[in-house]
Amino acid sequence: MIKQIEVSLNCMTAENFQVGKKHEITLSIPKEMGECTRARMFFNRWGEEPKIIVEMRQTQENNFLGEVTLPQLGNYYLHFMVQINGMEMAVKINREKHMPFLTNEESPYWRILAIQKEFTIPKWVYGATVYQLFVDRFFEGKNVLEKIPGRNYRNWGEMPNYKRNSEGKFHNNDFFRGNISGITEKLSYFKKLGVTVLYLSPIFFSKYRYDGYAATDFTMVDPDKGTLMDLKELHEKANAMGIHVILDVAFNHCNSDNPIFQEALKNPNSPYRSWFYFNADGSYKYWYDLFKDMPIFNQSNPAVQEYFAGENGIVAKFGEFVDGFRFDVSEELKYEFLSKIYEKDARKSEHLFIGEAWNKVPLERLGTCIDGMTDYPFTDMMYKWILEGDFDYFQAKLKDVLENYPEETICCSLNSIDTHDTVRALTILRGKWMRKDREVWKIDEYPSKWHIFKNGRIVFLTDEFREDEAQSDVLEPQLLRKAVEDYKILTLLQFTLPGIPCIYYGTEVGSHGYKDPFNRKCFPWERINKKTFHHTRRLSKARMANIEHLKGSYCNIFAGNQNILGYERNGAIVIFNRDEQEHQITVPKEYESATVVFKTYKGEMQKQCNMITLPRKAGAILVK
C-alpha cells in the first residue's frame, strides 16, 4: 500500500497562520511515488495569481522544507508544485478527507487564514456552556432593598406591559426585582444543568430601565439588582463551583438622565460637551436615530476612553468581579475605543471578550478588540435546516464561518437558538408568522401583515403587532408537542457545532414568546416543562462527558440533504433526521463500531455495518 503524502503546516491549527510571523512548512513525498527533486509553494489571494512563490529546501530524500511570512490578514490559498521522476505535478488537498494528493487537474487548495499575532483565549473557555440571563427576570433573592420611587413594579410572572404609557410611548420600565443574590442562590441549578459560564444582562444603575441597556450611572450597580458586594459574592461562589461570570455592558450610549449627559446638555461650555455629538443648534446624536433617550458617546474622545478603559475606569472597577465582558452593539463601537479596553485588560485576569455581532466581524478586530462573537449566522442556518430543510444554506453558512475566522474565535463564539433580541425558540418552532425570505425571527420586517400604506408612506402598526403577539402567546398543545420535537434536534445542533452553546434563560424549561417584551418574561419556576429540561440537561452532560471530541473548530459534513444531516467533529459524528419518516444514514466506515453516547429518542439504535436507521425527528452522537 502506497503511503500518503504528508504536509505539516507547523502552525496553531491546520490552516491558521499568524500574520507577519515566519512559518515553516514541510512536505514529504513517499518514495513509492518516485524520486522528488524539486518542490515549490504557491500562495495567492482570492481571484489573484500567486504572488508569493517559495522554493523549498530539500532536507533529505523526498523531504522538503519551506518558510513563508504572510504580510496581510485574511485568506490565502496554498498548493505545491513538485517534480517527480522529471514530471511536474501539483500537490493539493482533498478537503473532505483532509488529505493531500498528487494531481494535474483543477482541485481545491489549502485555505490559509492569516490572523492576529499572539491571539489566545482563556483555557477555561474551551468546551464551555453559557447561560444568558436577565437579572431582573431570573430569581428574586434575599437581599431585597426598598422599592425605588417612580419605578413600575410588577408581581412575579405577570405579563410585562406591552402597551403604550400615558405619554404614548413604549418603554422597558417594568421591574420584577430579580437580583444578583437570586442568581447566587440558584448556583446549584446551573451546576445541575451543566452550565460553566453565566452571562448577566447589564447591572449598571438605570433609573427607569430594568434591562440596563442605557445607564444612568455606570459607576454603581442598580439597587434593585444588588450591590458590588453581591456581584463579588456571586463571582467567588460561582468560581468555586467551576462556573465563570461574564457581564453584558452597553458602552455605545447612556440614558439621557445620566448626570454626565445632563451637564453636557445644559452647559455648552462643559468639558463633557465633547463626550457626545452635539450640533450647533443644541440637538444631539442618539442611538439608531430613533431613541432620543439614548445619546451616543464620542468614543474618539480620550476622556471617554479613559472613563471606560482607564486604570480606574468602569472596566477595571467591575472587571475585578467578573471573568469577562460581552459588548452590546459592538459593531458600533469604534476600533480605537474597543481595542483600548482590550489592550489594557485582556489576559491580565484571563478575561473573555465577546462582541454582539449580527454581521461578519473584520479580522482586524479579532484578537485586538474581541475574542468571539454572538454567532447569529449559526442561529439562522440551524433554523433554516430544521424548519425548511435548506441544506445548501446550512452548508454555505457553516463553511463561511469556519473558513473566515480564527479557530480561537470559533471556539469561543456563542451559539444561541434564541436571545433577548429574537423570538423564543419554541415560538419560532411553532411556525406562526415565521418567514422564509430572511432570518426567521424578523417577523415584523416589511412587508408584513402589520405594514399598511397611509398618506403616501408605509406605516407599521405597532399597537396591532404587539396585541397580536400577546394574543398568540399561548402555545396550543398540539403545536407545543411538535415544537418540543424540533427543539430536541435544534439543541443537538446547538450543542455539537463548533462554538459554545448559549442557553437563554428559561428556554430550557419551556419559556416561549415573540419579541420584546414577550421574550423577556420571568423565569417560570412554577411551570417547568420537564421534557425540555431533562433533554437539555442530558444533552449538556453528554457534551461535557465527550468534550474532547466536540471542541475545536473542525467540522466535516459527510451527509446532508433536506431531511438528513451528518457531520464529524474530532472523533465523534452527529447525525440527524428532521423528517416525519424514519431514514437510513450512511456513516464513515471508521464509525461502524462507534459508541452511542447520546440520542434524542428511546430504544436501541438500529445499526447494520455503517448504515444507521434514525427514527422520525431524531438525532444522535456517536464516538469512536
pLDDT at 532: 97
Cα 248-250-253 angle, rounded to 5 deg: 175
Strands 414-416 and 500-504, sheet pairing: parallel
Mean pLDDT of 584-593: 94
Compute the average pLDDT of residues 94-102.
Answer: 79
| pLDDT greater than 90 at residue 116 | no
343 or 187, which is more confident: 187
The reply to whether 128-252+300-373 and 551-623 are identical in fold is: no
Residue 593: what pLDDT? 92
Instruction: Specify the pLDDT at position 2.
Output: 52
pLDDT, tens digit, for every residue of 32-76?
899 999 999 999 998 889 999 999 999 999 999 999 999 999 889
CATH T-level assignment (fold) for domain 6-115: Immunoglobulin-like (2.60.40)
CA dist 591 and 624 (Å) reads: 6
For residues 314-341, give the mean pLDDT: 95
Q: Tell which wins on pLDDT, 276 or 208.
A: 276
Mean pLDDT of 161-184: 90
**What local confidence, expressed as pLDDT, does residue 7 receive?**
79
More confident residue, 167 or 498: 498
The model's confidence at residue 11, banded by pLDDT at 50, 70 and 90, is very low
Give the pLDDT score at 486: 97
pTM: 0.92
pLDDT score of 8? 76
CB atoms within 10 A of CB 141: 19
Classify domain 253-298 at the CATH topology level: Oligo-1,6-glucosidase; domain 2 (3.90.400)
What pLDDT was estimated at residue 144? 74
- List the domain boundaries for the chain: 6-115, 128-252+300-373, 253-298, 551-623
**pLDDT of 348 higher than 70:** no
Question: Taking 90 as the threshold, does the pLDDT of residue 544 lie above it?
Answer: yes
At residue 170, the pLDDT reads 80
Given a cut of 60, whether residue 19 has pLDDT beyond it is yes
The continuous run of DSSP H or E covering 575 comes out as strand 572-577
Of the pLDDT bands very low, low, confident and very high (cuts 50, 70, 90), residue 4 is confident
The separation between CA 351 and the C-alpha centre of its own chain, rounded to angstroms, equals: 17
CATH for 128-252+300-373 is 3.20.20.80
Q: 346: pLDDT confidence band, cut at 50, 70 and 90? A: low
| pLDDT for res 403 | 87
Is the pLDDT score of 31 beyond 70? Answer: yes
Q: Where are any strands of DSSP class E within 241-376?
A: 244-249, 286-287, 291-295, 324-327, 352-355, 372-373
What is the tens place of the pLDDT at every residue in 204-215? Answer: 999 989 999 999
Alpha helices in 223-351 (DSSP H): 228-240, 259-266, 302-309, 314-319, 335-345
As a whole number of angstroms, the distance between CA 298 and CA 42 comes to 45
pLDDT for res 549: 95
> Distance between CA atoms of 355 and 330, rounded to whole angstroms?
5
Average pLDDT over residues 436-447: 92
Looking at residue 13, its pLDDT comes to 39
Q: Whole-number mean pLDDT of the chain?
A: 93
pLDDT > 90: percent of the chain: 82
- Measure the CA–CA gap between 175 and 156, rounded to whole angstroms: 9
Strand order of the β-sheet with 197-200 is 372-373, 352-355, 324-327, 244-249, 197-200, 130-133, 500-504, 414-416
What pLDDT is stored for residue 171 in this prediction? 77
d(CA 400, CA 115): 16
Q: In the prediction, which pLDDT does 464 show?
A: 96
Share of the chain above pLDDT 70, in %: 98
> Which range among 236-250, 347-361, 401-415 shows the weakest confidence by mean pLDDT?
347-361
Tell me the CATH class for 551-623.
mainly beta
Provide the pLDDT confidence category of residue 14 given band limits of 50, 70 and 90.
very low
